[in-house]
Structure 1
Amino acid sequence: MTRSAPLNLNTKYALDGIPWSFVFTAIPDELPATDDIDATQDIAAICESTSSTCLPHLLGLLARLNGDDDTDTGVPPVTCLVVDGFMSFAYDAAKQIGVPCAALWTFSACAFLGCRHYRQLLRRGLAPLQDEAQLTDGYLDTVVDDGEHGMCEGVQLRDFPSFIRTTDRDDTNLNFFMREAERLSLPDGVIFNTYDDLEGASLDAMRGILPPTYAVGPLSLHVRRGIPTGGPLDAVGSNLWKEQDDVLEWLDDGHPARSVVYVNFGSIAVITMEQLLQFAWGLAASGYTFLWNVRPNLVKGGDVATLPPEFLAAVEGRSKVSTWCPQEKVLEHEAVGLFLTHSGWNSTLESISAGVPMLCWPFFADQQTNCRYARTEWRNGMEIRGEVRSAELAGMIREAMEGEQGREMSRRASQWKEKASLATSPGGSTVVNLGRLIDEVLLAKKQ
């Protein structure tokens, strides 16, 4: 939201020097404070806290913005809300102050359908799990064939967002994501960071159960088109970690086109030390040059993610290990030929936009669904199933980089890149949808 003058609020001005006046303010989530700016997020705690504590704080903020306490803010009143689809308390706030509300669902459209089908899985007794043995005994390979989920043909339990992988019917994550998917029927419009060519079937399946739905992605391509290189907004980012600036210079240093494997498991996922070592020695055995983001807190249990010196010696001269990097620019670099990813939706879309095929190792949430679609519907990805083993990983990397399946993945990835570019070009489907969202929802008067 842009503002013509500063507010008399507890705000932080994070975009000094840009052409417009953006004002940022926060509401408390009532979670314990931490001095560790790199702390991994506790998803269940955030879900429980935001859904139970944030509505009064948001209403208080909106009241101050609207001058309801006789404070002269010097700005027009709030006329609409654009909110995170997992913060559905904001729908209630919009209703109370009488303004339209649009919700941005930050998972993929296909993963939304998975969450929306949770209630039916519970009714059929397919979830929650009867015991933890069902995580590994083949039960998750059960095909869900009731025809009501709207997902791809042959979808299995393992392909649904992972919150059903619990034995507890009262599990916080299971109930939160089921509830938020069901409450997505409440706002005046729903926004998806996707495009019609990529997820048209999923978007069609949800149009009968949701308010007007607008596919406006990939948002990263809109940003790139709208922000001139070298301009005042070019340096603005939203990374949770500090980027290392020398990564792009390393990629520029003589690496042939499509010769580098880029590895990143996102900002939240944690793995065991054994998994870290299996990935390390698999990368080493593949023979390929690689760039690997290894966060200090990547390993669960508080251990620092430390790679053994013998591994570093084995890959010296053909590897770069960083803590974080500008991922979009890395994926767009001509040297990168494969993305070893956790299949988070932002990473998936960035890879699609850059035309880079994926080797997927989904961890949790929507990642299993995104991986399934990359593997069987979009066909620009392969999946590492179950526990990673170094020899298997090395073989999959070689197949993805030089094998027949890899060539087909690369061809499909190039096609999806072109379609994403067309969708976000002037007159493209997502540009049109964005205009419709503004006219039909955000500028509409509440009756």
Structure 2
Amino acid sequence: MDPPPVPPPHVIIFPLAAQGHVNSMLKLAELLAISGLRITFINSEHIHHRLLRHAHIQAHFAAFPDFRFKIISDGFPIDHPRSPDHFMTTFNYVKSITKQLFEELVSAPDRPVTCIIADGILTFTIDFAGDLGVPVIAFRTISASSFWACFCIPRMIESGDLPLKGDEDMDRDVTSVPGMEDILRCRDLPSFCRVADLSDQLLQYVTTQTLQTTAARALILNTFDQLEGPAISQIRTQFPNLYTIGPLHSHLRSRLSSSSPSPSSASNSLWKVDRSCIAWLDKQPPKSVIYVSFGSITTLNRHDFTEFWYGLVNSGRRFLWVVRPDSLAEGSSGAVPEELKEAAAERGCIVGWAPQEEVLHHGAVAAFLTHSGWNSTLESVVAGKPMVCWPFFADQQVNSRLVSHAWKVGLDMKDVCDREVVERMVNEVMGERQEEFAAAAGDLARRARNAASEGGSSWDNLDRLIEDIRSMKPTS
């Protein structure tokens, strides 16, 4: 009599409840599901509700019979306006309920747990899972360079690079981040490093979480070796078991195209996508449009919003601009000047949310004015589109410096919001320097696609990750 078949490994995936984190970790979850692993994805009630409404996520993952969602509260009502200001409150609530949640999942007799892939900003999961005998793999959803800068915060403090001494300090070179000595200035450090007081709560939290990542069994990064080689080399000195498997959205597309039959990739959007912008783009000349989006969290005050609008209009270029319903900061007021509305009607298209990957690959789009979130940066890299960067917070300051100084595929506008600067930079990437930036961006795009294709570094690293998971013993 043949022995019963051995069930596939069961992986719990636990992201921070924010769109950028959930988006990339859902793509990782789908990559693992394609490879035959069982997946339980822990989602906040708020995030899951929006994914059901706008991304039809349940129907998409129904194609994988061993995939399921586990829904938890993040401590707020579903309709609560979640802002970065509420991060620590959410974190403390989720931490308080996670140990019991893990105990329930691990003790379930029908699905023994093989490992947990946890967001690297939630390292309390390492202790909780360790008490249950379950290995944890950390996944940081930021760039390798940003992660390494965070890891080096104690070194920056020891050397005197931190704390910052004021605005006059911002253009000083930072020399205490190995491998990035010729890249970073003070203004290019993650936003929570911009403090005069080293006891700042967010600085302390990020530093602690990043250093505690070393207790995980392994580290996953959504990047590829040829994109961030110096930072990746340094990270490997601290994390020998490192998996660089990005760009995840490109990697997922490659795996889906090589499997038959296969579902299409989900959008994972928390906002209602307005596809009318694609029809608008179809009517525009090739390489004539700048796409503008500041992501899912960035808010603009009325001054900044108006300066961007004047800068875009004065550039004389066609533009597609994503303006979320909550894009303006609370308390911002004032009517939009009629001249701006008229100019937008002539050569602009404004939508609440756009299918970004599709937009960036559209032939009419020449460049991307972006907040430099890591997902958006990678999507622009894969599409081969130059960038104008206006980072908002967290890792985005580092990413924008990579774009302009390390990869030379765009311009960095951080800490400036002036219509004349917007106009000048848009015209540089769309006009006088378009060929220069387009050539560099095209070369980077080829490297990204090669890394995420069969035989590429990211493809091989994912295979290695899956084999590592398969070698683990599940809980019993």
- Per the shorter chain, which TM-score range? 0.7 to 0.9
Partner deviation per Cα, 1:243-302 (whole Å, 9 max, x = no partner): 11211111112x122110000011111121011111001100111100000112212224
Distance 1:174 1:6, change over 3 A: closer
Partner in structure 2 of residue 86 of structure 1: 121
Amino acid at match of 1:301: E
Partner in structure 1 of residue 68 of structure 2: 23
Partner in structure 2 of residue 377 of structure 1: 406
Cα distance in 2 for partners of 1:386, 1:413 equals 24
Cα distance in 1 for partners of 2:261, 2:392 equals 37
Q: 1:429 aligns with which of 457, 463, 472?
A: 457
Give the TM-score taking structure 1 as reference length: 0.88
Partner in structure 1 of residue 154 of structure 2: 119
The Cα of 1:83 is off from its aligned counterpart by 1.1
CA contact (8 A) 1:101 1:442 kept: no
Distance 1:74 1:97, change over 3 A: closer
Identity %: 33
Amino acid at match of 2:104: R
Q: 2:358 aligns with which of 315, 329, 332?
A: 329
Partner in structure 2 of residue 61 of structure 1: 101
Partner deviation per Cα, 1:292-339 (whole Å, 9 max, x = no partner): 001122122244796433201123231100111111110011110010
The Cα of 1:141 is off from its aligned counterpart by 1.0
CA contact (8 A) 1:423 1:431 kept: yes
Distance 1:306 1:293, change over 3 A: farther
Partner in structure 1 of residue 77 of structure 2: 33
The Cα of 1:232 is off from its aligned counterpart by 7.9
The Cα of 1:90 is off from its aligned counterpart by 1.3
Amino acid at match of 2:83: Q
Unaligned segments of structure 1, at least 5 residues: 68-72
Amino acid at match of 2:87: I
The Cα of 1:5 is off from its aligned counterpart by 12
Compare 150-159 and 193-202 and name the one that shifted more.
Answer: 150-159
Give the TM-score taking structure 2 as reference length: 0.83
Q: How many corresponding residue pairs? A: 428
Distance 1:56 1:385, change over 3 A: closer
The Cα of 1:443 is off from its aligned counterpart by 3.3
Cα distance in 2 for partners of 1:103, 1:225 equals 24
Cα distance in 2 for partners of 1:149, 1:306 equals 48
Partner in structure 2 of residue 166 of structure 1: 195
Partner in structure 2 of residue 106 of structure 1: 141
Compare 85-94 and 278-287 and name the one that shifted more.
Answer: 85-94
Partner deviation per Cα, 1:364-390 (whole Å, 9 max, x = no partner): 111111111111111101112432221
Cα distance in 2 for partners of 1:4, 1:101 equals 16
Cα distance in 1 for partners of 2:466, 2:343 equals 55
Partner deviation per Cα, 1:32-91 (whole Å, 9 max, x = no partner): 33524xx3522x5324542x4434522322322233xxxxx5632111111111111111
The Cα of 1:211 is off from its aligned counterpart by 4.2
Higher helix content, 1 or 2: 2
Distance 1:204 1:222, change over 3 A: same
Residues 240-389 of structure 1 mapped to structure 2, 5 A cutoff: 240-253=270-283, 255-303=284-332, 307-389=336-418
The reply to whether residue 220 of structure 1 matches residue 249 of structure 2 is yes
Unaligned segments of structure 2, at least 5 residues: 1-10, 12-32
CA contact (8 A) 1:193 1:215 kept: yes
CA contact (8 A) 1:184 1:210 kept: no
CA contact (8 A) 1:244 1:323 kept: yes
The reply to whether residue 45 of structure 1 matches residue 86 of structure 2 is yes
The CA RMSD measured in Å over matched residues stands at 2.9
Distance 1:145 1:127, change over 3 A: closer
